Structure 1
Amino acid sequence: MRNPNGYGSVYKLSGKRRRPFIVAKTISLKGGQQKRVILGYYETRKEANLALADYNKNPFDLNVAKITFYEVFEKMLLQNDKVLSPATVKLKKSLIKTFEPIYNIPIRDLKLVNLQDLFDADETSYATNRQKKSLCTQIYTFALKRELVEKNYAELIDINKRNEKVVKRMIFSNEEIEKLWDLSKRGNSDADMTLIMIYTGMRIGELLDLKIVDINTEEKYCRAGSKTAAGKDRLIPFNSKIFTVIEKYIDSNKVYLFQTLRGKKLQYNNWRTLNFSPLMEKIMAKHTVHDCRHTFATLLNNADANQTATKDLMGHANFTTTEKFYTHKDIKELHKAVDKLI
């Protein structure tokens, strides 16, 4: 059955194509001229006819229909360019490359299955897929607010958890800590940094951000922390043992407690790769930098430290977080606990 005049048409392209059916519409331009515009490409004739019917029921700007997935990303990035850090922009530009198969498809034509196929075929880590989904959701939210799409399909994407990486935390043993103290006595600054994290619970980012002016040498504490509301600008006391290490690096001519020879802040990735990893090899241990923080929490727990104090020292909103994720009882401590039972 032929469509009425001005309704639009559906026709099929030749050859093997994933979306062979085209929906086209003739529109009137200024001056009486007419122009044939492609509304979209579809896998089946039925989908194409439904799309044409939807358009005639609720017409939209046909120029909008042509905006591709990648063009929406570019517009979103351009609008947010002034508020995003260079690192965030770099990450988004890296993540968007994985969406290359749908770059040139009008975002209005994309369906959930198109997005889900990309994620199902992705063999990268679960964490990376989460970042990809987050970016895709941002793109669709941007498009939805500008009526470029009718649904946010990105929110419905299922992430395959088979590649989820589970990091097993291991606390430093007493023997490993003694090895670090031995290296510290020989002037090893990397051992000193590691010991400071073990004895204060500071994250590596907090230690690298720590400035001389934030250290109170008389009362032996510092102000540090920025990751969470509970941990921001928290008071971190130093016990006498670790304060003797910290004192070695306090210099009024410096900005940061630990810094480069040029007075710049140390970069985490560089320090982890070039300093921490070789240090672990030297003491014959296998640890992540974050294991220092887990060790601190466990040492507090083993010493029966006050729960409120432990929570505050860790910068957690409640003790449950500390107890669930950061304390690791070894067999000796478990024996101590059960031996108390009558």
Structure 2
Amino acid sequence: MESIEKNIDKYIDYLKYEKKLSNNTISSYYENLKKFYSHFEKKNILNLNADEIRDFLYDEGIVARTRAHYLTVLNSFYNYMISIEYVKTNPCETIKLPKLEKKLPSFLTIEEVDRLLNINPVKIYDYRNIAMMETLYATGIRVSELCNMKISDIDFNECTIKIFGKGSKERIVPMNDSTYNALKNYIDNYRPFLLKTKVSDYVFINNFGNVISRVGFFKILKKLCKDAGINKDVSPHTLRHSFATHLLNNGANLRVIQHLLGHSNITTTQIYSHLSNESLKEDYKMHPRD
């Protein structure tokens, strides 16, 4: 029988080439499996029973949400091992975790978005930042999709952007006038100065002439929020949540929002209907008899 390390590598290849999961998801699964394997360094993890795995999951220091993620990863791993006939049963099948309380994602108000987008450009990179923020809020794409966006993905004639989402799934999202103008201005007039002597098809370039990273974007967003006086805990996903919530509040169809966000399952998109209800309750407080 092959070593556990080789089996894990085969499983990771399966996730990448057959399941076509995103690199971030695969990396997360791999890290979880490495920690799990290290925990049982003196045992063969293919021979573990449910009690041993349960003890690991409830080990001190593992919070409920991480516990649930571990169980998802381990279920997937053991089911794969069954499919290639390395084990006969999945020891995780009988392990049930308490249901996690679903947290509604935070979002910005329209007034907060306006403040965030109201950047007074002074430096060359300010025009890039304007284009990034306009694009993220106007399209609802993920920050990884924003960073991976290429010049060839933008169709200025049709006012659309081709997005490659999780598992390399392709979708087309429209651009509004603000995004069109911000992108065109940045690409034509300022991006060449950021590239310097380098050549790249990536749209968003950092100050060293390389493609901007997720971490780099996060730092920019944090600074812009501070400058705009936004005191909420804002992440790149907050703009995605804001995009979907504002669309829904203005009457957009949930199926359309599902497509724009690149959700494979509409149940993932339905959380925004809860956000919309929360917004409705806040607005209702304005009733004179409340």
| Pair 1:297 & 2:244 matched | yes
Distance 2:74 2:146 in 1: 34
Distance 1:323 1:266 in 2: 31
Give 1:204's aligned residue: 143
| Pair 1:264 & 2:210 matched | yes
- Is the 1:258–1:266 Cα contact (8 Å) retained in structure 2? yes
Distance 1:301 1:104 in 2: 53
Distance 2:131 2:262 in 1: 22
Larger radius of gyration: 1
TM-score (norm: length of structure 1): 0.61
1:112 pairs, out of 50, 64, 77, with 50
Distance 1:153 1:77 in 2: 17
The structure richer in strand per residue is 1
- Is the 2:11–2:77 Cα contact (8 Å) retained in structure 1? no
Q: Does the C-alpha gap of structure 1 residues 324 and 147 become closer, same or farther in structure 2, counting only changes over 3 Å?
A: closer
Distance 1:313 1:148 in 2: 40
Distance 1:219 1:109 in 2: 57
Task: Within 5 Å, give how 1:230-269 maps onto structure 2.
Answer: 232-251=169-188, 254-269=200-215
Unaligned runs of 5+ in 2: 17-22, 193-198
Point out which structure has higher relative CO (alpha carbons under 8 A, 6+ apart): 2
Count of aligned residue pairs for this structure pair: 264
Deviations 1:312-339 (A, max 9, x none): 433446766545436535359955xx9x
Give 1:278's aligned residue: 223
Distance 2:163 2:205 in 1: 16
Q: Does the C-alpha gap of structure 1 residues 138 and 319 become closer, same or farther in structure 2, counting only changes over 3 Å?
A: closer
Task: Within 5 Å, give how 1:119-268 maps onto structure 2.
Answer: 119-137=57-75, 140-141=78-79, 144=82, 149-159=87-97, 164=100, 167-186=103-122, 188=126, 189-227=128-166, 232-251=169-188, 254-268=200-214
Distance 2:77 2:172 in 1: 40
1:102 pairs, out of 21, 25, 40, with 40
Distance 2:133 2:59 in 1: 40
Give 1:77's aligned residue: 8
- Is the 1:180–1:195 Cα contact (8 Å) retained in structure 2? no
2:7 aligned partner, one-letter code: M
TM-score (norm: length of structure 2): 0.71
- Is the 2:29–2:73 Cα contact (8 Å) retained in structure 1? no
Q: CA RMSD in A?
A: 3.9
SS at match of 1:328: helix
Deviations 1:206-230 (A, max 9, x none): 211111111111232211141279x
